[in-house]
Structure 1
Amino acid sequence: MTSPEHVVLVDVEGNPIGTAPKSTVHGADTPLHLAFSSYVFDRQGRVLLSRRAGHKLTWPDAWTNSCCGHPLPGEPLSSAVVRRLAFELGLVVESVDLILPRFAYRAVMDNGMVEHELCPVYRAVVTGEAVPNAEEVGEVRWEPWASFAAGVMSGELDISPWAREQVPQLVALGPDPLAWPVADPAALPPAALPVS
């Protein structure tokens, strides 16, 4: 029997303060923990959107960015991005770049369930089509970045609360997602920095 997956708990400065089983973290009093969001693009600059599986604890059936997840204790965030994109979407990643190193959010569902994450944002470029893992993803669709971003910015597109906060910050980096500047990994929270 495998041991339960753990997430890294952090303080408001992003320092690691312990770990907890992933299955116990999300509730009405979710502690701040380390996560990531990724936006997958093809070479045409289309973004891959995913709809969360209906049995997810937080935001079931919600459309969102390509993939979110939690690094394992000691796992580099970029490695966690590659691992989860393979697991959730069957994707082979060509490149992974850090874009928003210090994004954080707290969101509360109507039923009181809370997400509370220090959540750096990554851009991943892939070739090939996604093969969604039904345990994680209900469906996917490719959309031109400009139309997706416009829908989020106008409020017309129903999207997860974290993506709603992330997209304006990404739009501010320029109209071409493949040309967004790559952030310095040294700007990551201390809990996400490589152990020397």
Structure 2
Amino acid sequence: MGVEEIVLLNADDEAVGTAPKSDSHHRDTPYHLAFSCYVADTEGRILITQRALGKRTFPGVWTGSCCGHPGPGEKLRDAVLRRLRDELGMPEASLTSVLPRFQYRAVAEDGTVEHERCPVVRAVVPAGGNVQANPAEVEHAEWWTWERCLELAGRPESSPWYRLQLAELAPLGAPLEWPDAGRSGLPPALGW
């Protein structure tokens, strides 16, 4: 497998280049394209994960189901499905764009910066689905009630992006009720 690259963005969320992911996350991380995904089962539970302790950025924090970086020319849907397979062993899911305009900047305790245009997607899977977490990516993966997810957003062990996303997701109701926000709000650099 080659070097994983991230898509660099300008202030208008247009692609302006690429950079190796491994060299791009530091104290001056450039603004780039990413995504977050919340996996809901048909009973309305959310898969919450703890990032692997060996991760370069924000190790050990509790967060949504998975996140990642679309590669150059990769559509959002394809990137989400790739990461669901790679991180959680999930071969299929029904995807919905929920927060297409989400972006954030966060600084880790070690000074590492995340600075991302990060559309949020909901994936729906059947209840009782088997999760096969990749230990290089995920320390723990657990199915939680929405109420427990909301409580996590008030605790410091959650990721900064999780807290910001939950502030926007909570008013939308329970996860299976989140409306499809469509694709028009996605950044110009990213197709569905």
After TM superposition, give the deviation of residue 111 of structure 1 in Å.
Answer: 1.3
Indicate the residue corresponding to 1:5 in structure 2.
Answer: 4
Q: Which runs of 5+ in 1 are unaligned?
A: none
After TM superposition, give the deviation of residue 157 of structure 1 in Å.
Answer: 6.2
Q: How does 1:1-196 map to 2 (within 5 A)?
A: 2-127=1-126, 128-152=129-153, 155-156=154-155, 158-174=157-173, 176-193=174-191
After TM superposition, give the deviation of residue 64 of structure 1 in Å.
Answer: 0.7
* 1:26–1:115 Cα contact (<8 Å) kept: yes
Which contiguous aligned blocks of 4+ residues in structure 1 show a shift greater than 4 angstroms?
Answer: none
Task: Give the secondary-structure state (helix, strand or coil) at the position aligned to 2:162.
Answer: helix
* 2:152–2:158 Cα contact (<8 Å) kept: no
Q: How many residues align?
A: 190
For 2:155 and 2:13, the matched residues in 1 are separated by 33
CA deviation profile, 1:57-98 (whole Å, cap 9, x unmatched): 111011111000001111111111111001100013330110
After TM superposition, give the deviation of residue 146 of structure 1 in Å.
Answer: 2.2
Task: Give the secondary-structure state (helix, strand or coil) at the position aligned to 1:185.
Answer: coil
- One-letter amino acid of the structure 2 residue matched with residue 73 of structure 1: P
- One-letter amino acid of the structure 2 residue matched with residue 133 of structure 1: N
- One-letter amino acid of the structure 2 residue matched with residue 91 of structure 1: M
TM-score for both structures, normalised by structure 1: 0.93
- One-letter amino acid of the structure 2 residue matched with residue 193 of structure 1: G
CA deviation profile, 1:18-70 (whole Å, cap 9, x unmatched): 01111111001000000000000100100001111111111101111100000
For 2:157 and 2:136, the matched residues in 1 are separated by 22
- One-letter amino acid of the structure 2 residue matched with residue 123 of structure 1: R
Q: Percent identity?
A: 49
TM-score for both structures, normalised by structure 2: 0.95
The CA RMSD measured in Å over matched residues stands at: 1.2
